[in-house]
Each structure stands twice: as structure tokens, then as C-alpha cells.
Amino acid sequence: MVENVIKQVVNKPDKKNDKLTELIGQFGTWQMILFSTVSLVKISSGWIQLAILFLTPKFTFLCTQFAEDSTILSIIASNASRMVDSSNVLAGNLTIAEDSKCYKDCVNYEYDTRPMDSTIISEWDLICDRSWLASFTQMVLQSGILIGSIVFGFLSDRYGRKNTFLAAVTITTIIGFAIPFSPNYTTFTILRFVSGFGAAGTMVISFVLVMETVGPDYRELLGCLYQIPFVIGHMFVPLFAYYFRDWQMYSLAMAVPQLLYIGYFFVLNESPRWLLSVRRVKEATEIVKRAAAINNRPTSKIEETLTKLAEDMQSVSEKPKLNYTALFGSSLILKTSCCCFMWLVTGATFFGFNQYISQSSPDPFISVAAAGAIQIPSTFISIWLIKHLGRKKTTISLFLLGGIFILALDYVPKIFWLTLTLGSLGVSCSGAVACSIYIYTTELFPTVVRNMGMGASSMSMRVGSMVAPFISSLSITIPWLPTVIFGLAPIFAGLVCFMLPETKGEVLPDTLEDVEVTK
């Protein structure tokens, strides 16, 4: 059984850290089913965030009609398969128009979007003084994810994990089918924002559902494995693009599989831990009894135990809570600043360099698929490194290696297999470091502000991903600059990590006073 393999990897005794874990076990068949089910939404979140790779691929364009004497120029173009500059024609000097060059008096451009048949660039003329709009639509998507993470985090705490998760899934499914039929760029970009907003809800809540149902000894491992479906989604993006070369069919093809998410309405249960936090003990009891039975655990006295647990939760919730300003107090400001910077760099490097690879590779289908595939073994390697080397050394090593691989692209011969290998390794390091810093960050902050620390870090990653497409687009004017930025940024992030303490084997801090003691 898969859950037995996971238990062997963890290789820890089944601790009884709280009453709920005591009743259903740290990890068993019930948790495995839940994890396998809700983590599937990460596949479509990968499609949503990485669809831009083939919506705005590398392309060339050519002016085919000028404002002055366009009829004569069109005849010349049809015979020469190139266009001439109208100002030179009028002067009596015929000059062939250049590829991908903008002309003030050009009234029509034709596009060579190969390997795609059409893209949003060719659909809405996102070139010349409108070229920034191609990156802007990806920034808007990521801003939707940022805002959605905040909103759905609040809604799930207020109205429950299940209902808000189903709302988020519904939004992404409906919008997924609406995007291919966008009549104009503005509508397309607004829909992308809403799609990102809904995708954030599916990602945030599905992860919370997993973390609230597994024992603490399995959270590190499952926190890393939770990213695997996203990688699978990454690998499928070039497959969709290969078979559906029109941007509308490409977008529609990625929307159709999301219809399977309708099944969540029939099989998903509410988080028993959340039900207890709002004193809905009877509903929690039904779910916990079913989970205990599936995991071959005793089912007696469950309701009495959960009633006592709900009372304990209520007494804890009545204590005054800290706010985000606590993250910038004297005991946490260094950790907060370092973590936010590392997450920002990770977001910018992962999403930006993926886009750069797709735009600069002679075969984007192979390059994007390889960059996705290599992340699966790198995820498992990062798990091993985290366990044996510790959080700090692993994070520093992955940042430095990723930066070196990316920088090397400017100095090696432009041989496809060589640049493909270096580019894929750079992306894999960026993906692996995301796994590492997630665990590292949760252990750096005390319990009383841990969620806020993770929230601030996650927002920083979204800011990085919003900036990423603009950095990648610099390759159009300065080909070497994106690799320099994407290479130096993670190296600098690795150096910043030196200022943080190691947390491997340390007792998790619970209060700000605990941080002061271990400072």
C-alpha cells in the first residue's frame, strides 16, 4: 500500500500529539484517500499559471501594409515575400522591411507564431507599443492568485473548508470554459484574474485540508509530495500545446478535464478539525468515526473525546491574538525579511525562467516538458536533503546551484541538449527550493504567528511571480539580461539564508518569548 511506503519514509513512531490524531492516526488509508483526491486540483493550477508559456511564445512579425501607397507596397510584398519601408519607396530607395521591427506608418502586421498557429499576441496585436500587455496579463493572473489566497483563507476560516473549496473549484471550472471565447484582450485579462482568484482558493484550502488531517510527523513529507500534481500539470502544458496549436483550442483543452472536479460535490468531507473549532461536534463525530473505521482504529468514545477537544479549542480561541505587526518586532524582523526575500526570488525565478525557456528554446515543447519532468526526482532529492543535511544547508545549496546553472547559459555553446540540460536543472533547483523553504519557514516562526509568517512569505512569492514575465520579456531587447537576473537573484537569496538559524531537530517555538530565548 502507498501509505505504508510513506510511513517507511517517515520512519517515526506514531506519536499522539493531540486527541484528533489519537483517534484517527497520524496517517492511514483515510488520509491517503483525502490527500490523493484534493491534491488533484494542483494539476489544473499548474495549467492556469503556466498556460502563458504557449499563449505568448517566441514569435516574429512583419509589416505587410503601410499607410502610404499601401496598394503598390502590397504588390511588392506578394512578389518578394517581404515588405519595403514606405518612406524609402517614396524616396526611390527600395529597402526590404525587417523581421520583428516596428514601423510608425505600418497599418498591418503578419505573424509567424510557430510552433503555434495562433496566440493572444497575434489575436490582439500585442507588439510594439502594446507588447507590455502580454506580460501584463500574466501579472494580473498572479495578482488574482495573491488576492484569492487572502480572501479564501478568510472565507475558509469563517464558512468552512468544504464550502469555500467547492466555490473555488466552481469558479475555476466556469472561467476555464469562458476564457477561450474572450472577444477582446480586456475580457481575456479580467477572466484570467478571476481564474487566478479561484485557483488560489483551490490551492490554499486543499493544502489546509491535508495538513489538518495528517499527523505532525507526516506534514513535512506530504507538504513536499503535495507539489507533485503541480509538476504533472507542468508536464502536460506542452502536450496540450502540441496537439492544440490554436490558443483558443489550447485553452479549451485545459478546461475540459476540470469537469472531473464536479465529483468533489459528492465525495468531499468537511475538515473535522474546523468543525470542532466552531463546536459542530456531531458532524465532526460522524466524519471521525468513518475515518477511524477506515484506518482500523477504535471507534468507541469518539463523541465524548471530541466534545472535550472542542471545549479546549474554544478556551484557546478566546485568548487575545497577535497581528501582522508582530512579524516586524525586534525578535522576528530578520526572519521575516529574509523569508520574504527568499520567497520573492523563488516566485520570480520559477515562473520567469520557465517562460524564458519556452521563448528562447528552438523546441519549446521538449524544453518545457523536460523542465517539468526533472522536478519530480528533484522533489524527492530535496526531501532526502532536508532530512539529512538540514533546512538551512539544503536551501542555500539549492539557491546557489540553481543560480550557477542559469548563469552558465550565457557562457556555454548554444547546443540544444546542453542548454536544455542547464535550463532544466535551473528550474528543478527553483522548484526544489520551494519545497525546502516551505518547511524551513514554518519552523522559523513561533506558533502564535506561524500562519501570518507563511502568509507574508506566500504573498512575497506572488509578487515575484507578478514581476517574472516582465523580466523574461527583456530577452526581446537585451537577450543576455534575463539569465543574469534569474541567475544572480537566487545566489543572493542563498547568501541571505546564511543569516538564518538551522531548525533541523529543534523544538518548534510557540511564543515570541521562545524566539527571544533561542535568538
Residue 310's pLDDT band (cuts 50, 70, 90)? confident
**Residue-by-residue DSSP string for 346-399:** HHHHHHHHHHHHHHH-SSHHHHHHHHHHTHHHHHHHHHHHHHHT-HHHHHHHHH
Whether residues 285 and 379 share a domain: the answer is: no
Phi and psi based region of residue 431 (left: phi greater than 0; alpha: psi -120 to 50; beta: remaining): alpha
Residue 368 structural domain: 324-519
Backbone angles phi, psi at 411, to 5 degrees: -120, -15
Residue 473's pLDDT band (cuts 50, 70, 90)? confident
Whether residues 253 and 284 share a domain: the answer is: no
Whether residues 184 and 247 share a domain: the answer is: yes
Is residue 463 one of the residues assigned to a domain? yes
Is residue 18 one of the residues assigned to a domain? no
Is residue 412 one of the residues assigned to a domain? yes
Q: Nearest to residue 430, comparing CAs of 338, 345, 341? A: 345
Give the Cα separation of 369 and 239 in Å (integer).
8
Is residue 17 one of the residues assigned to a domain? no
Whether residues 392 and 464 share a domain: the answer is: yes
Whether residues 286 and 415 share a domain: the answer is: no
Backbone angles phi, psi at 240, to 5 degrees: -60, -45
pLDDT tens by residue, 74-86? 444 444 444 444 4
pLDDT tens by residue, 130-147? 889 999 999 999 999 999
CB 472 within 8 A of CB 352: yes
CB 403 within 8 A of CB 489: yes
Find cell 527571544 and name the residue: 516
State whether residue 96 is helix, strand or coil. Answer: strand
Whether residues 160 and 73 share a domain: the answer is: no
Whether residues 346 and 484 share a domain: the answer is: yes
Residues 6 or more apart whose CB falls under 8 angstroms from that of 72 comprise: 89
Residues 6 or more apart whose CB falls under 8 angstroms from that of 163 comprise: none
Of 257, 288, 317, the one marking the end of a domain is: 317
Q: Residue 61: in which H helix or E strand, if any? A: strand 60-66
199 pLDDT higher than 90: yes
Backbone angles phi, psi at 64, to 5 degrees: -115, -5
Whether residues 302 and 436 share a domain: the answer is: no
Q: Nearest to residue 482, comparing CAs of 352, 347, 367? A: 352
State whether residue 301 is helix, strand or coil. Answer: coil
Is residue 138 one of the residues assigned to a domain? yes
Mean pLDDT, residues 317-345 taken together: 82
Higher pLDDT, 4 or 478: 478
Give the Cα separation of 47 and 52 in Å (integer).
9
Give the Cα separation of 109 and 471 in Å (integer).
25
Query: CA-based angle 317:320:322, to the nearest 5?
Result: 110
Of 254, 284, 317, the one marking the end of a domain is: 317
pLDDT tens by residue, 93-126? 444 456 778 888 888 888 888 888 999 999 999 9
CB 302 within 8 A of CB 289: yes
State whether residue 111 is helix, strand or coil. Answer: strand
Residue 73's pLDDT band (cuts 50, 70, 90)? very low
Whether residues 153 and 185 share a domain: the answer is: yes
Number of domains into which the chain is organized: 4
Length of the chain: 519
Whether residues 393 and 282 share a domain: the answer is: no
372 pLDDT higher than 80: yes
Of 317, 350, 377, the one marking the end of a domain is: 317
- Half-sphere exposure of 15 toward its Cβ, with a 13 Å CA cutoff? 10
Tell me the pTM.
0.84
pLDDT tens by residue, 486-502? 999 999 999 999 999 99
Is residue 12 one of the residues assigned to a domain? no
Whether residues 147 and 208 share a domain: the answer is: yes
Domain of 502, CATH number, reads 1.20.1250.20
Q: Which residues pair with 111 in a beta bridge?
A: 61
Whether residues 422 and 330 share a domain: the answer is: yes
Find cell 498557429 and name the residue: 117
Give the Cα separation of 235 and 42 in Å (integer).
12
Give the Cα separation of 250 and 242 in Å (integer).
9
According to the model, what pLDDT value does residue 510 have? 64
Helix axis angle for 29-38 and 2-10, nearest 10°, is 100
Query: CA-based angle 445:149:387, to the nearest 5?
Result: 40
> What one-character DSSP code corresponds to residue 112?
E
Is residue 71 one of the residues assigned to a domain? yes
Is residue 16 one of the residues assigned to a domain? no
